[in-house]
Amino acid sequence: QDTTAGKSKAAVCSACHGAEGISVLPDYPNLAGQKQKYLELSIKAYRDGGRKHAVMSPMAAGLSDADILDIAAYFAALPAQSPAK
């Protein structure tokens, strides 16, 4: 996977999940520092229909496996934010 390519491919994600992977909306999860494999499985589940969400399903529909790996690697590598910060 390629975190630099992932950053570019993840630009659209930032509207909800924040520029640095810390969500700007309480209903939506932080992605920064999340397990890379879990992120990959989640995006694939949205793409392939195992998980359904009005926003995420269409977002994921056009992604290749390589896109998903890059995006997952990018968010997993971002620093997680503790509540105290």
CA distance 6 to 2: 6
Among the residue ranges 3-11, 29-37, 61-69, the one whose residues contact a second copy (CB under 8 A): 29-37
Residue 14 binding a second copy, by CB under 8 A: no
Least distance in Å: CB of 77 to a second copy?
6
Among candidates 56, 3, 50, 51, which has minimal Cα distance to 25?
56
Residue 58 binding a second copy, by CB under 8 A: no
CA distance 51 to 77: 24
Residue 37 binding a second copy, by CB under 8 A: yes
